[in-house]
Chain A
């Protein structure tokens, strides 16, 4: 628009009838060009409407607001309608000298574009005001409960089990399975637990008959897997249910374990510690520390129990640093600062012998821990029977 005045000057003076009075003002005593005159008037009319809007929405739905759309439409017709003033300019073009017509046409079209842009901007503003007005009238009670599809849940043990499997899968452990009802050979004998051996006392066993038992541990997977994957490196993770004749607040006759077995040419006890430490930090947090205590499992040598630092009290035995009162004892670890996680060890040479492997060539490690126990620790579940009672009030929490 800035250069309008110059361009208008080129086709000035207005050759035909000039009914328009030039605005009188101190700057200029020249009569205004009709294109310029329409623009000035349009600006003034728009200004008026815009002022109305500016007052509008905040003041609520006033009479002026309601009249706005109508005034806008009238104005729009007045200027840009088919019979509006801008079209009128074009119709009067015939009165111009032919050489002035192209430039005049261009100028009128620029004016039309200008007007259209102003009107659509104003229309957007008016719509906004209207929408704002309609929204502020809503009486929705947003505090009412949401409509929900019934919320389902996965058993907490399923969640912990999947987390453990995923971790070891990431390290390249293949998931393996073994029967839950198994021959004595797989559950005991091949694991270096002969009949009439006191180590059987460590397993309160459910019997189907003399030779068939409910497996007492997931370690039977070691025998099944090594028998069917002879003389090749092994890296497996094997979750599954196991059974013991035992039933109290911390023991269930059926519980879930997860077993790991790694066998290769140069696997050491230090590797066992490295792998377990990595897992413990993943499961219980990077600050976790661990300790190993000698233990006895007939199928590992050396055998160990692994404890991790209690992740509730960070191994301190009190809940001082974990939001508890000063000196409040940690019940999770019974103030010892340690939590028993599971048994582990290097594969006993006798087990290699039983499955036909050469213990001089291969070494390995195995570990197993209770998924129930980790689940109970993780969620603070006080009684193991919750895990199999299937109380809606329990299941829905996970």
Chain B
């Protein structure tokens, strides 16, 4: 909201000084407002021109060569300048506006800007210009120079000269402070801060017209939506242009003048915060004003020219025939005050904040009125404002105020100030201050609260305060304590560390695991990504998930920002693949991203009064593309570079599982529809019973006991169809792992495993197998667990080429034997190896080389 400093000065005297600075010091005022909680977001100087200052005419003599010109000596306090002036009214001793050399004036209407330079006018030096109103944008007059009040000091920049310049503060008023949404309200705060009185306007009312009862009737039907409705009538009004002061006041904060009546209602709204509405009485059919609910099918063309469909939820001001106003929000075209209007029905009301708010939202409308009604206007002030405004209209628009006012109200409407009790001890306990009760009272009374006499009313050290109607937000002791803190400056409250018992503050298990994974993957050379948690049906569809897949149960947003962000993600893969494509398009070919992201699954069956029926799961994603290693960029060694392969990703996952202590188990190939049907795998793990609240995405839901070989993730080469869908250049490798799955698989404790210091013995074996046989398959034929001294069966190479027939491959294995307590003899090792060989030999597909 914008407030004008000139306007504020009508209600509080800022001429004095505090702290050695004038009270209208703009910076100091701005800081004071912010420290009061009325945050100044911007400050705009109005009516100033750089280089234009107040000055005094010291000498004024006729130009020796031109009758109509004067040669003046003008001072701005720092220097004295010769100025040639053509105005007839210039005279010695005047205070004038001087445009100094270098100043740039906007120029009169239709003329280019005027830059002031040193000049010679008919032989006389002129170092500046004494300005007329129109030359500095203050008005139309060019009758002569603008003569300032003699009290104006010289050297003031134009915007600081009283009556010429102004400062507009842009305030951010929080929703709890409707009282500060107007000039008297802001002035009240400033006055309280400076310890000065507030000069509140007074109503001046002469009821000279007919008796109102014979002119119009009010029927308040919707007493829930409108708890108080006051009407006044002014007869014989002349609707026309507003007086100058009114136009200027509105213009100062950027409001357009419409006509004198409408301008006055707007003025009062901006002055007091109370909206009002002026009707053309002649257009009120049946001379009956009805405050009622709308009826389905009714229509109303509002002032903005839009035809509104009225529903039974709306609250209307209607006449005998139909709707006139969308109550509290916007008036209708038909009852608008226009040039031909003579009699005015004036409405001042208290509308229920929630009703107005719903009404505005329903019609997508917000107005100065609805903004204030939905925050709450002063309920005790309604009739007074009607009197005040009627008086203003009669004064400035002519006409006579009809005798009496019409008032209807709900029994619920407050008629006297609320009393709120305050215990001074509580103030200090909650703020950590040491304030005396008297100081608390002083601060609260400065903003209009009144200490009641019944100090002992509650049988304790409580003080009762009468809360003015404009402070509807002050309902409880805590609210008063905040006011005391606020008015005394938060920065004056001591800085004290709390004294609390020592506790062991751990991290939740999921957080610890996520940290381990993040740090491990960082060290493994991956870059952590972060995606917005929004996705789209289109992006999700690219993965080709089955309808029964839990990731197909997405949650749509009711008000998404865009089509790309219309649902909550059930997987972050589409976002990461988009990021990979974005990087590829930016010549960043080597993509190594990981992300631990929350995904959201629709679980309507779990919905309760409080639970939203949405499962939130953290998932780990890896995306690799481009070359895996660029570690020897200049060595020319081909072995160190090349496109990322399946086994790079598998190696990362294997190390990751080792880092968490999880024994890796896999199933090949994987079954994710977005992965290569062959070059993919699933990660399996033995899962502990899930802790409350955890659920394993890939396993069966909420397994009761240990679950063996549950799927907790998938990985592999991205399916070419998906690759194309995301405009990626391949190969791209991805992995998706459930964090709660990992968490349930992490062993509770890790134990040291003894190793012997006795030397190891190895035996090598070359096996010739069909190309279709896998390492895992051959390994499964080896009786590894039945040979205790066999420590490791290590695959050394997979060879195809010379000596190996086509369609076959040679697998070279090394078997490492070691006993923890003794040195093995050759015989023992040979015996063990023989046992292994015999087992392998049972498979006719395995040939020993």
Contact A153 B432 (CB under 8 A): no
Contact A270 B525 (CB under 8 A): no
List of A residues within 8 angstroms of B586 by Cβ:
391-393
Name A94-153 residues within 8 Å CB distance of B: 144-145, 147-153
- Contact residue among A150, A177, A275 (Cβ-Cβ distance under 8 Å from B508): A177
Q: Does A277 lie at the interface of the complex (its beta carbon under 8 Å from any beta carbon of B)? A: yes
- Contact residue among A148, A150, A179, A270 (Cβ-Cβ distance under 8 Å from B616): A179
Q: Does A36 lie at the interface of the complex (its beta carbon under 8 Å from any beta carbon of B)? A: no
Name B29-56 residues within 8 Å CB distance of A: 34-37, 39
A143 → chain B closest CB, angstroms: 11
User: Chain B: interface secondary structure?
Assistant: loop
Closest residue of B by beta carbon distance from A394: B527
List of A residues within 8 angstroms of B476 by Cβ:
349-350
Q: Name, among B518, B579, B610, the residue most crowded by chain A CB atoms within 10 Å (CB to CB).
A: B610
Q: Does B831 lie at the interface of the complex (its beta carbon under 8 Å from any beta carbon of A)? A: no
Q: Interface segment, B215-223, B301-309, B626-634?
A: B626-634
Q: Interface segment, A12-20, A44-52, A168-176, A308-316?
A: A168-176
List of A residues within 8 angstroms of B430 by Cβ:
268-269, 346, 363
Contact A207 B598 (CB under 8 A): no
Q: Name, among B175, B505, B634, the residue most crowded by chain A CB atoms within 10 Å (CB to CB).
A: B505
Contact A174 B582 (CB under 8 A): no
Q: Does B528 lie at the interface of the complex (its beta carbon under 8 Å from any beta carbon of A)? A: yes
Also in contact, A241 and B498, with CB within 8 A (given A198-B175, A268-B432, A296-B174):
no
Q: Name, among A209, A247, A278, A363, the residue most crowded by chain B CB atoms within 10 Å (CB to CB).
A: A209
Number of interface residues, chain A, beta carbon within 8 A: 95
Contact B610 A274 (CB under 8 A): no
Q: Does B605 lie at the interface of the complex (its beta carbon under 8 Å from any beta carbon of A)? A: no
Closest residue of A by beta carbon distance from B486: A294
Contact B616 A274 (CB under 8 A): no
Q: Does B277 lie at the interface of the complex (its beta carbon under 8 Å from any beta carbon of A)? A: no
Contact A391 B582 (CB under 8 A): yes
Contact A274 B497 (CB under 8 A): yes
Q: How far is the CA of A389 from the CA of B532 in the complex (A)?
A: 9
Q: Name, among A151, A168, A233, the residue most crowded by chain B CB atoms within 10 Å (CB to CB).
A: A151
Contact A266 B529 (CB under 8 A): no
Q: Name, among B36, B526, B556, B557, the residue most crowded by chain A CB atoms within 10 Å (CB to CB).
A: B557
A56 → chain B closest CB, angstroms: 36
Mark interface residues in B458-498 (1 if CB within 8 Å of A CB, else 0): 00000000000000000010110110011000110111111
Name A384-398 residues within 8 Å CB distance of B: 387-393, 395-396
Q: How far is the CA of A214 from the CA of B586 in the complex (A)?
A: 33
- Contact residue among B497, B506, B510, B557 (Cβ-Cβ distance under 8 Å from A206): B557
Contact A208 B511 (CB under 8 A): no
Q: Does A291 lie at the interface of the complex (its beta carbon under 8 Å from any beta carbon of B)? A: yes
List of A residues within 8 angstroms of B497 by Cβ:
271, 274-275, 278
Closest residue of A by beta carbon distance from B178: A198
Q: Does A257 lie at the interface of the complex (its beta carbon under 8 Å from any beta carbon of B)? A: no
List of B residues within 8 angstroms of A301 by Cβ:
478-479, 481-482
Closest residue of A by beta carbon distance from B531: A388
Contact A302 B357 (CB under 8 A): no
Contact B490 A294 (CB under 8 A): yes
Contact A151 B495 (CB under 8 A): no
Contact B496 A273 (CB under 8 A): yes
Tally A-B pairs: CB < 8 A. 261
Number of interface residues, chain B, beta carbon within 8 A: 98
Q: Does A157 lie at the interface of the complex (its beta carbon under 8 Å from any beta carbon of B)? A: yes
Contact B559 A206 (CB under 8 A): yes
Q: How far is the CA of A235 from the CA of B503 in the complex (A)?
A: 9
- Contact residue among A183, A206, A302, A363 (Cβ-Cβ distance under 8 Å from B612): A183
Contact B498 A264 (CB under 8 A): yes
Also in contact, A273 and B494, with CB within 8 A (given A154-B522, A254-B534):
yes
Q: How far is the CA of A153 from the CA of B174 in the complex (A)?
A: 41
List of B residues within 8 angstroms of A254 by Cβ:
532-534
Contact A175 B614 (CB under 8 A): no
A227 → chain B closest CB, angstroms: 9
Mark interface residues in A160-203 (1 if CB within 8 Å of B CB, else 0): 00100100111111111101111101100000000111110110
List of A residues within 8 angstroms of B498 by Cβ:
262, 264, 267, 271, 274-275
Contact B490 A145 (CB under 8 A): no
- Contact residue among A147, A208, A304, A395 (Cβ-Cβ distance under 8 Å from B527): A395
Also in contact, A186 and B610, with CB within 8 A (given A198-B374, A273-B496, A293-B37):
yes
- Contact residue among A277, A298, A350 (Cβ-Cβ distance under 8 Å from B495): A277
- Contact residue among A144, A168, A175, A293 (Cβ-Cβ distance under 8 Å from B634): A144
List of B residues within 8 angstroms of A391 by Cβ:
582-583, 586, 588
List of B residues within 8 angstroms of A267 by Cβ:
498
Q: How far is the CA of A173 from the CA of B522 in the complex (A)?
A: 27
Q: Does B255 lie at the interface of the complex (its beta carbon under 8 Å from any beta carbon of A)? A: no
Also in contact, A269 and B432, with CB within 8 A (given A154-B522, A175-B511, A201-B175):
yes
Closest residue of A by beta carbon distance from B525: A150
List of B residues within 8 angstroms of A390 by Cβ:
529-531, 576, 579, 582-583, 593
Contact B177 A158 (CB under 8 A): no
Q: How far is the CA of A373 from the CA of B518 in the complex (A)?
A: 22
Q: How far is the CA of A304 from the CA of B629 in the complex (A)?
A: 51
Contact A388 B175 (CB under 8 A): no
Closest residue of A by beta carbon distance from B481: A302
Q: How far is the CA of A295 from the CA of B493 in the complex (A)?
A: 15
- Contact residue among B353, B490, B518, B568 (Cβ-Cβ distance under 8 Å from A304): B490
List of B residues within 8 angstroms of A165 by Cβ:
507
Q: Does A218 lie at the interface of the complex (its beta carbon under 8 Å from any beta carbon of B)? A: no
Q: How far is the CA of A65 from the CA of B358 in the complex (A)?
A: 101
Closest residue of A by beta carbon distance from B356: A196
Mark interface residues in A243-270 (1 if CB within 8 Å of B CB, else 0): 1010100001110000000101011111
List of A residues within 8 angstroms of B505 by Cβ:
168-175, 235
Q: Does B109 lie at the interface of the complex (its beta carbon under 8 Å from any beta carbon of A)? A: no
Contact B528 A181 (CB under 8 A): no
Q: How far is the CA of A388 from the CA of B534 in the complex (A)?
A: 12
List of B residues within 8 angstroms of A264 by Cβ:
498, 500
Q: Does B555 lie at the interface of the complex (its beta carbon under 8 Å from any beta carbon of A)? A: yes
List of B residues within 8 angstroms of A170 by Cβ:
505
Also in contact, A196 and B616, with CB within 8 A (given A153-B522, A293-B34):
no
Q: How far is the CA of A148 from the CA of B522 in the complex (A)?
A: 14
Q: Does A219 lie at the interface of the complex (its beta carbon under 8 Å from any beta carbon of B)? A: no
Contact B508 A269 (CB under 8 A): no
Name B403-458 residues within 8 Å CB distance of A: 429-433
B642 → chain A closest CB, angstroms: 14
Q: Does B749 lie at the interface of the complex (its beta carbon under 8 Å from any beta carbon of A)? A: no
Closest residue of B by beta carbon distance from A169: B505
List of B residues within 8 angstroms of A174 by Cβ:
503, 505-506
B485 → chain A closest CB, angstroms: 5
B166 → chain A closest CB, angstroms: 23
Q: Name, among B478, B507, B628, the residue most crowded by chain A CB atoms within 10 Å (CB to CB).
A: B478
The 7 A-B residue pairs with the shortest CB-CB distance in the complex, in nearest-first order: A270-B432, A294-B37, A150-B525, A268-B432, A296-B174, A390-B579, A292-B490
Can you show 5 pairs from A to B with CB atoms below 8 A apart? A150-B630, A181-B612, A271-B432, A389-B582, A393-B586
Besides A253-B561, A294-B35, 17 more A-B contacts (Cβ < 8 Å) are A152-B523, A153-B528, A168-B505, A172-B503, A173-B505, A196-B354, A196-B358, A198-B353, A206-B558, A208-B558, A247-B561, A271-B496, A278-B497, A292-B493, A301-B481, A390-B582, A391-B586
Residue numbers of B with Cβ under 8 A of A are 34-37, 39, 174-177, 353-354, 357-358, 374-375, 429-433, 476, 478-479, 481-482, 485-486, 490-491, 493-498, 500-503, 505-508, 510-511, 515, 518-519, 521-534, 555-561, 565, 568, 576, 579, 582-583, 586, 588, 590-593, 598, 600, 609-614, 616, 628-635
Residue numbers of A with Cβ under 8 A of B are 144-145, 147-155, 157-158, 162, 165, 168-177, 179-183, 185-186, 195-199, 201-202, 206-209, 211-212, 214, 233, 235, 241, 243, 245, 247, 252-254, 262, 264, 266-271, 273-275, 277-278, 291-296, 298, 301-305, 346, 348-350, 359, 363, 387-393, 395-396
